[in-house]
Structure 1
Amino acid sequence: MKKTLLSIALVSASLPSIAGEFHGSFSGMSGAAYATGNYSEGVLLNPSLGASYNPEKDDFALLFSVGALGSDKDDLIDQADELADLVTEIQATDSFTIGQAEDLKKRLQDIDGDTAQVALGANLVLSIPTELVSMAFIINSKGYISVNPDVADSDLGRIDSAIGGRFDPEDAEEGLQSTINGHGAIVTDIGVSFSKAFSLANGNHLLVGFKPKKVEVESIIYTSNVADFDEDDFDADKYTRKEDSMNYDLGLTYMAGKMRYGLVVNNLQDKTYKTIDPEETISIERQMTGAVGYVNGNFKAEVAADLNSVPAIGLGGEVQLMRVGLEYSAWDWLRLRAGIEQDSKNTLDDTYSFGVGVGALNLAYITGSEETEGAALSLGLRF
């Protein structure tokens, strides 16, 4: 199973760019940057924030970020890896012993019902702020996968009946019938956001943003016998299918003194993408997120909440997140961050984040219930 998760990472890393809502900056605030993010990384969440810049000091910005988050609350990774070692040992012997049989049955029973989840991402952003219209070229990709075994009840009888003879767990007819299954997708957005700030009569400002984008979805439905798993097969054509379409994101930000109010609509059009299974599709649906933020000098805070639930790609069920984040800047070069994210649908585990920024380098650490852990890193250049 360690090979399984490593394979997932390699599949994603083979793309020209990988990404998602992982960023060394706002991931430290658990993604709460829909209203308080700046013109460079904030535009990843809210296209209107491309116009939130200071004309006296902000100019072109090029940013790159990567991140990953995983959960293995059932210790599936180590257990499945040990099971694979045992299968190799059994294949090397001419007589299948009672001890090997009991060990093999126990290991199958131990992983039955377990699950592991992985999310990977990265992004590349080139921001060009101007008074007329600010633009940002964005490549944003994210990969989700859930892995779980399906243990066949008949395997226990097969194991018992093979004691004393030669047993090959990989034999298609007489070997194990249990499988390891993976469901997920790699979703890549390639788009350009356009944003503009409007000064209102009351002295406040309204930022408006629009992002047309191409969305490419590479769906993954992977099934392998537990005894015949090979990480090199994970991205084989027979397990994946690619489709693409056009979609759009909209964003509004209202700035009133120290307060910030944001509204984002991602994926304005609901889209359905086919997989290798004619009966299974992946849906990417419209999602609205509202945010309220506070900015006062070196301190900012935000609460951002999804206003509707959407299908959880690769995980089953739906997700609807609420995020709370804080940031404090010291000495103009050191930034400290913290945040919390919760899913009201309980599909994703609660996570807590901590981040630090030093100059152009930002790091975030994410942890949570059910042994969830992850990290994000970002680097940037400003011209």
Structure 2
Amino acid sequence: MHKITVLAVSISSVLLTSQANAANQVADARGNAMGNTGVASADYLSAPFYNPALGSSFRDNDDFALLLPAFGASIHDSDDSLSVIDDLQASIKNYESAITPSLQQADELNGYLDQLDGNQPLRVTAGLGFAASLPSQTVSSNLFARRYIEVVAAADVADDSNVEQRYQNSHIDMLAFDYTEIGLSFAKAFTLAGEKVSFGVTPKYQQLTTYAQRVTVSDFDIENYDESEISKNAFNFDLGAVWYKDNLRTGLALKNILAQEIDAKRNGLQDTYELKPQATLAIAYTAEYFTVAVDADLTKQTRFKSLNDDTQFVRFGFEGNAWDWAQLRAGYEMDLEDTLDNSITAGIGISPFDVVSLDIAGSYAGDNQFGASANLAFTF
């Protein structure tokens, strides 16, 4: 648990001290609390993170909005691997310091290695976001930037019969992906055949960076995930559409239209991170005092090729709104690929005078699997 906290703090420090140029990892506490929905339910300020077409969904008295900052982090360690590695490293230290290691010490070492063998990879993510929106009946625009880092650590335990050779030949493979994008989103509402629709497009600049690290179990330190680096810059764009029918919205978002790949390699560890186009269909009912939303990924989201860690989510969200002064939110998220456990989400919003908004969210998917996010927004 201690190393999980250290890593989360380390990644947070990297994000907060770097430029705010900082894909489906969205640091948006409102959407995070509502099961990570947003393709049909996001507001015009957070629209480019979910669906650029929602940039035209503003009220007559909305002139300008600023999101500064939005931050989120999540941890998935379902098999408690970090605690096992902590105990294993302490056991190795005791074994190597003994003049004549005992059979009991050898059995203890083998026990920890057996516990680690076959564990699900540990995953830690953290994200940061910024947005400035200028709504307009002509064309709404939104300048935004976001960044997220995802670290995956997986154990490769040797089968040697000799305990010393076994722990010396056992490794932890760490792979990390660092993603930054900055873009300008545009949205416009139309009336077509008597129906209100809106369309949006987001041209954006991307920077993709990977890290790879293979170390023995005794030398493993999750803070050292960034000791190698491969970077790539690219241009990309998102597309979106929304159909409005009274209080009902149906949205479609196409993210990262141009597929990208980037290698990750060091010390015999080699992989490729894939950033493929992703399509999400959503429906939301937005009333004065509540909002209900459902988002469904139409495509799988890929990551590192060798890890078989694709995800494809169906998300459900609810928000109760008390006269635009306070909000209570809840949601549920299911991964159809079973890479990540289903999670429960919840959160609150405080928005006095509908000018300053503070949103806080949390998620829980079981032991050692949780997340949190917060953001501050100003609307004028």
TM-score, structure 2 length as denominator?
Answer: 0.89
Partner residue in 1 for 2:10: 10
- CA, structure 1 residues 12+57, in 2 after alignment: closer, same or farther (shift >3 Å)? closer
Of 241, 244, 255, which residue of structure 1 is paired with 2:230? 241
How far apart, in 2, do the equivalents of 1:39 and 1:150 lie?
46
- Alpha-carbon spacing, 1:158–1:61, altered in 2? closer, same or farther (3 Å): closer
Question: Map of 1:160-179 to 2, 5 A cutoff?
Answer: 176-179=168-171
* Rg (Cα) greater in structure: 1
Task: State how 1:14-163 maps to structure 2 within 5 Å.
Answer: 14-15=14-15, 16=18, 17=20, 18=22, 20-115=25-120, 116-154=122-160, 156-159=161-164
Cα deviation for residue 258 of structure 1 reads 0.9
Q: Decide whether aligned partners of structure 1 residues 9 and 186 sit closer, same or farther in structure 2, where only a CA change above 3 A counts.
A: farther
Q: What CA deviation, in whole Å up to 9, does each residue of 1:30-58 have, x standing for no partner? A: 12121121111233101111111113144
Q: Name which of 306, 314, 317 aligns with 2:309.
A: 317
**How many equivalent residue pairs?**
366
8 Å CA contact 2:341–2:365 kept in 1: the answer is yes
Q: 1:175 to 1:150 in 2, by over 3 A?
A: closer
Which amino acid in the other structure matches residue 97 of structure 1? Answer: S
CA displacement at 1:24 relative to structure 2 = 1.1
C-alpha distance in structure 2 between counterparts of 1:79 and 1:209, whole Å: 48
Tell which deviates more after alignment, 23-32 or 269-278. Answer: 269-278
Tell me the distance in 2 between the aligned counterparts of 1:3 and 1:372: 14
Matches of 1:305 and 1:197 in 2, distance apart? 24
**Larger deviation, residues 23-32 vs 58-67:** 58-67
SS of the counterpart of 2:58?
A: coil
Partner of 1:288: 279
Aligned counterparts of 2:300 and 2:211: Cα–Cα separation in 1: 22
* 1:268 corresponds to 2:257: yes
Kindly tell me: are residues 321 and 231 of structure 1, through their superposed partners in 2, closer, same or farther at Cα, counting changes over 3 Å? closer
Does the 8 Å CA contact 2:240/2:254 hold for their aligned counterparts? yes
- Distance apart, 1:5 and its partner CA: 6.8
1:44–1:275 Cα change, 3 Å:
same
Equivalent pair of 1:23/1:65 in contact (CA under 8 Å): yes
1:226 lines up with 2:231 in the alignment: no
Structure 2 CA distance, aligned partners of 1:347 and 1:231? 21
Letter in 2 for 1:274: D
Equivalent residue letter for 1:40: L
Cα 1:132–1:311, aligned 2, differ >3 Å: closer, same or farther?
same
Alignment of 1:321-336 (within 5 A): 321-336=313-328
Asked whether the 8 Å contact 1:209–1:252 carries over to 2, the reply is yes
What amino acid maps onto 1:63 in structure 2? L
Judge conservation of contact 1:306–1:321 (CA < 8 Å) in 2: yes
Find the aligned partners of 2:167 and 2:277 in 1 and give their Cα distance.
46
Instruction: Give the secondary structure class of the aligned counterpart of 1:114.
Output: coil
Q: Distance in 1 between matches of 2:302 and 2:40?
A: 24
* 1:272 partner amino acid: E
- 1:234 deviation in Å? 2.3
Amino acid at match of 2:79: D
Does the 8 A contact of 1:11 with 1:235 survive in 2?
Answer: no
Which residue does the alignment assign to 2:246? 257
**Residues 266-285 of structure 1 deviation map (CA, whole Å, 9 limit, x = unaligned):** 01111211222696311111
* Structure 1 outlier segments of 4+, above 4 Å: none
Q: Distance in 2 between matches of 1:77 and 1:272?
A: 30
Whether the aligned pair in 1 keeps the contact of 2:260 and 2:275 (CA below 8 Å) is yes
State the Cα RMSD in Å: 2.4
2:354 counterpart residue number: none
Q: Hey, what's the Cα distance between the residues in 2 that align with 1:143 and 1:316?
A: 19
Give the deviation of 1:131 after TM superposition: 2.5
- Counterparts of 1:255 and 1:282 in 2: how far apart (Å)? 37
- Report the Cα distance in structure 2 between the residues aligned to 1:228 and 1:368, rounded to whole angstroms: 30
Secondary structure of the corresponding residue to residue 113 of structure 2? helix
Does residue 372 in structure 1 map to residue 356 in structure 2?
no
Counterpart of 1:169 in structure 2 is none
Equivalent residues of 1:349, 1:370 under 8 A apart: no
For residues 292 and 11 of structure 1, the distance between their equivalents in structure 2, rounded to whole angstroms, comes to 34
One-letter amino acid of the counterpart of residue 190, structure 2:
F
8 Å CA contact 2:48–2:202 kept in 1: the answer is no
Displacement of 1:230 in angstroms is 3.8
Q: Any conservation in 2 of the 1:35–1:292 contact (CA below 8 Å)?
A: yes
Identify the range of structure 1 (362-371 vs 34-43) with the bigger mean alpha-carbon deviation: 362-371
Q: Take 1:158 and 1:119, find their aligned partners in 2: how far apart are those partners?
A: 34
**1: CA distance between counterparts of 2:373 and 2:167?**
42
Gap change, CA 1:225 and 1:8, over 3 Å in 2: farther
Report sequence identity in percent.
Answer: 28
| Unaligned stretches of 5+ residues in structure 2 | 352-356
Note if contact 1:61-1:128 (Cα within 8 Å) is conserved in structure 2: no
